[in-house]
Amino acid sequence: MSMRVKPTDVVIVGMGGTGAIAAMALTEAGLDVVGLEAGPWRSTAEFGMDEIRNDVRNAMGPKFNAELPTSRATARDAAVQVPGVGMVNAVGGTTVHYTAFSWRMMEWNFRARTETIRRYGRAATGDADGYELRDWAVDYHDLEDYYDRVEYLLGVSGRAANVRGQQRDPLGNPFEAERRRGYPLPPLRSYGFGERCAAAARSLGWHPFRGPAAIHSEDFQGVAGSACQYCGFCGNNGCHTNAKAGTFLNAVPRAQATGNLTLRTGVRVTRVETDRDGRATGVTYVQDGMEHFQPAAMVILAAYIYENVRLLLLSTSKAFPRGLANNHDQVGRGYMSHGYLNVNGVFGERVNLFGPTGQYIWLDDWDSDNFDHTGLGFVGGGGMYSLNEVKPIGASRTLPPNVPGWGAEYKRWLARNAMSVGGMFVMVEDVAHADNRLDLDPSVKDATGVPVLRITFEPKDQEKRRLAFLERKARALVQEMGGESLWSSFFFPAINGHAYGGARMGEDPETSVADGYGITHEVPNLAVLGGALMPTSAGRNPTQTLQAMAWRTADHLVDTWSSRAA
């Protein structure tokens, strides 16, 4: 039987990118929070520049890897576990090692359905083909204040174009939504290949700019030595100068400073418990082999989307026989991935891509509804960005299709060209489809005997058309940059570090799991944070948006706490 521990106001499952933000806002408002984190604290001493350890072995996510979801393309296929997604179990979660692209969404992303119907008519939504193109239950303008707060908490480096609609910086992003002020730090420094990319894009009439990153371009808040040193071993690695703003460096210490956060590391949450009325009573977790019950007035799930959804589906009860907050069969639906398109070329000289991935040129010309989609057969698009952070093992795998992958010719090609390969990436949007979803795997279990999640996902026709369109655009740019022998590669992985949906937000309890604050329709004292809430995937990294949403959720809980506690 489980040991009952001291009750708390709020228990948060996961102290990662979003959970830490909520913990900070709640504790600073005086609420008692228990944060349960599967991983340990990580330190700068662990963040050596080591491609095998960081990128190949992916050693920082042992719990994630031990309960890896299975995946399959369609319901007719067998589902298998495919390793290789680098999630981190740690205080700070995957923000410990992310590339730290730190974005606001386009205004269009929040209203994709409404805007699509307005501009192109109802048929363009893809409803008839099984697509579920939705609006979010939150708008850009609801989040603008929180975006700003997150940018100043993390220390985001970037170039603002549209401050209060007043100044349009010609070197900023012309598609940017209005913001109340600029970024707290200037963008990360430029690099030769990025400048080449920007010049080529401008000659095509496109709008390149230095993309925002939660990496300090200068010492932030007077902390000496906290600026990026451009070591170039950034993705899949923590930062040894603390320039990368993982939440273990900002939100968690702030929450700890209040004295109101009880942080338990190395614990595995197994269930959300509910009473007969269908209210959440707390969570059960295992620490050092011992089962504990943490009673709480409010439960917040802030793990990655797979574990958030799995916990909902595992937490069955009389009130919720198909899983918690799932009496309308919405949990697991609306699952989305991101496609990754890469167009490379060989340049006539060394391109020297030794900076962090977060030092990049980005273009929004072919994302969201920034271009006319008439007759294209898809909605949305994808952000396009210049390659950086080339590491040697990665370089040894990056070959045009006509070059053999081994032997003397391979070696000669590498010697001549490995440091001269450059190109563009595109983060390709995915639209939810009725066939793509998450559920519990009927046969595969984790080491503790609990079913893992099962992903059913394949890109549909719109995604294929979107990918082909974006490939043409990326090829045109790499060509303009002077690349030769161009080649493309792309994959639309079922299991992804960029995964969305499964507990979508919406106004209608019949077709969504949570409201605009992430509070579930069926359980008033249960909230979900993170990408599971997203009704559309957008064509860019989600973290900063999810952090803004988490902060807003916490503020909402504080504002309504007296009525909730009663």
Strand partners, 535: none
CB 210 within 8 A of CB 159: yes
Q: How far is the CB of 404 from other proteins (least distance, A)?
A: 9
Site string for other proteins, 56-75 (x = CB under 8 A): xx------------------
Q: How far is the CB of 243 from other proteins (least distance, A)?
A: 11
- Residue closer to other proteins, measured from CB, 59 or 319: 59
Q: What is the DSSP letter of 92?
A: T
223 is a site residue for other proteins (CB under 8 A): yes
233 is a site residue for other proteins (CB under 8 A): yes
Please pick, from the candidates 1, 128, 408, 447, the single residue that binds other proteins as defined by CB under 8 A: 408
CB 315 within 8 A of CB 28: no
Q: Rounded to whole angstroms, what are the CA distances from 357 to 384, 390, 537?
A: 13, 9, 21
Q: Looking up tokens 């230095």, which residue turns up? A: 210
Q: How far apart are the first and last CA of the chain?
A: 29
407 is a site residue for other proteins (CB under 8 A): yes
Rounded distance, CA 269 to CA 283, Å? 7
406 is a site residue for other proteins (CB under 8 A): yes
Q: How far is the CB of 397 from other proteins (least distance, A)?
A: 6
Rounded distance, CA 93 to CA 359, Å? 22
Q: How far is the CB of 79 from other proteins (least distance, A)?
A: 18
Q: How far is the CB of 183 from other proteins (least distance, A)?
A: 21
Q: How far is the CB of 451 from other proteins (least distance, A)?
A: 23
3-state helix, strand, coil in the chain (%, to 5): 30, 20, 50
Dihedral angle sign, alpha carbons of residues 446, 450, 451, 453 = negative
258 is a site residue for other proteins (CB under 8 A): no
Please pick, from the candidates 65, 81, 114, 241, the single residue that binds other proteins as defined by CB under 8 A: 241
Rounded distance, CA 513 to CA 533, Å? 8
360 is a site residue for other proteins (CB under 8 A): no
230 is a site residue for other proteins (CB under 8 A): yes
- Residue closer to other proteins, measured from CB, 21 or 96: 96
- Name which of residues 303 to 322 contact other proteins (CB under 8 A): none
Please pick, from the candidates 75, 78, 128, 224, the single residue that binds other proteins as defined by CB under 8 A: 224
Q: Rounded to whole angstroms, what are the CA distances from 301 to 13, 287, 298, 308?
A: 5, 18, 10, 6
229 is a site residue for other proteins (CB under 8 A): yes
Lateral strand order in the sheet of 421-428: 208-210, 361-363, 382-386, 421-428, 339-346, 484-491
Quick count: other Cβ atoms within 10 Å of Cβ 358?
A: 26
270 is a site residue for other proteins (CB under 8 A): no
- Name which of residues 11 to 50 contact other proteins (CB under 8 A): 40-50
Q: Residue 292 is inside which H or E element, if any?
A: strand 290-301
CB 284 within 8 A of CB 293: yes
- Residue closer to other proteins, measured from CB, 28 or 50: 50
Strand partners, 438: 455
225 is a site residue for other proteins (CB under 8 A): yes
Rounded distance, CA 373 to CA 316, Å? 44
- Residue closer to other proteins, measured from CB, 353 or 452: 353
- Name which of residues 130 to 189 contact other proteins (CB under 8 A): 189
What type of residue is 277?
Answer: D
Please pick, from the candidates 180, 181, 412, 445, the single residue that binds other proteins as defined by CB under 8 A: 412
For 330, phi and psi rounded to 5 degrees? Answer: -105, -20
Please pick, from the candidates 418, 444, 486, 558, the single residue that binds other proteins as defined by CB under 8 A: 418
- Residue closer to other proteins, measured from CB, 54 or 342: 54
Please pick, from the candidates 84, 405, 448, 484, the single residue that binds other proteins as defined by CB under 8 A: 405
Q: How far is the CB of 383 from other proteins (least distance, A)?
A: 22
User: Which positions lie near other proteins, rule CB under 8 A?
Assistant: 40-52, 56-57, 91, 189, 191-193, 196, 223-227, 229-233, 240-242, 248, 253, 256, 263, 265, 347, 349-355, 391-393, 395-397, 405-408, 410-412, 414-415, 418-419
